[in-house]
Chains A and B, each alone.
Chain A
Amino acid sequence: MQEIHFDNRTFSRYPAGRYRTDGKWSGEKFRDEILSHFIANGEKTTIFLDEAQGFGSSFLEEAFGGLIRKGITFATFQSLVSLRSDDSSLLEEIETYMLDAQGE
């Protein structure tokens, strides 16, 4: 079981922006360099969201909704990735973006 933490070792405590051009720690970068990598390897992964100093909706939409647009199904994501946060609104928002992207 792999773990992804929003800390300065794995990614950043300050994830920000939708695209790489918007910031060093963007949703696009997180999706392409971290998340996709684990999913492509078929590794069961837990993402711990609470270490981040807040998320912008644009980051969440690009990282997770964008994953679906890149061809990963929601079912595949669910079978490999579990999200952990004390803030249920984050978990629901992410799921909404993935389901919306799947419906597009």
Chain B
Amino acid sequence: MLELLQTLGPFFLEIAKTLGPFFIATIGWVLVNRQNNLREDRKEARSIIDKIIEYLSLIESDAYAFHTADARDKSAERKVKLRIKTLACRLGHCSKMFSCAEFTQEIIRFRQACTKLNFETEEFNQQVSNSEILLGINEQADKIRDKLERVFLDSFPRSHRKPKT
């Protein structure tokens, strides 16, 4: 047995000398590739979240414009409702992408803020800038924005970000 080891020892040493750098290069490549994939995932997620936030702000502006208008605007009502439906759908996709994200209550509260009072009613009242309705819309939109940012930060901690050069 000892003889066998003495005979094979130099052989294995030679193999290790030959393949060692290859293994190190492979491990390095795997680590760098993993890091790059994480960065790409992060960029993709950021882009999706930015688009949702942009869309949310669009609805917020629409709802503001509707509630501060001189009179009830039925086409604006349709636009707000349809956009909230689309937002709910996009947040639903977001929930599937980030396992920790669940937006059901936030969507309900945002829809209520925009469409429960002074909406689709013949008793429409023009709202002033600090009205409860407008503040409520703003508050609920902010809560969705905050949650999206939190979900993003939880999913992609700082260590996954490319260091600034």
Q: Which A residues contact B (CB, under 8 angstroms)?
A: 14, 16-19, 21-23, 53-59, 61, 86-90, 92-93, 96
A58 to B84, CA, bound (A): 14
Known: A53-B82, A53-B85. A93 touches B120 (CB 8 A): no
Q: Roughly how many angstroms separate A23 CA and B122 CA in the complex, as a whole number?
A: 8
List the A side residues contacting B80 at CB < 8 Å.
Answer: 54
- Residue B119 at the A interface, CB < 8 A? yes
Known: A56-B115, A58-B115, A93-B108. A16 touches B120 (CB 8 A): yes
The B interface is mostly helix, strand or loop, or mixed, namely helix
- The chain B residue sitting closest to A26, CB to CB, is B120
Q: How far is the CA of A12 from the CA of B109 in the complex (A)?
A: 25
Determine whether the beta carbon of B120 is less than 8 Å from that of A18: yes
Known contacts A89-B107, A93-B108; decide if A56 and B120 are in contact (CB<8 Å): yes
Provide the bound-state CA to CA distance between A18 and B108, in Å: 17
Give B contacts to A, CB under 8 Å: 74, 77-78, 80-85, 88-89, 92, 103-105, 107-108, 111-112, 115-117, 119-122
Contact B92 A57 (CB under 8 A): no
A18, B78: Cβ atoms closer than 8 Å:
no
Contact (Cβ within 8 A) B104 A88 = yes
Residues of chain A within 8 A of B81, CB atoms compared: 16, 53-56
Question: Is the Cβ of B88 less than 8 Å from the Cβ of A89?
Answer: yes
Known: A53-B81, A92-B104. A86 touches B89 (CB 8 A): yes
Q: Would A87 and B108 count as touching, CB distance under 8 A?
A: no
Residue of B nearest to A89 (CB): B107
By a CB distance below 8 angstroms, the chain A residues around B92 are 86-88
Complex Cα distance, B103 from A57, in Å, reads 17
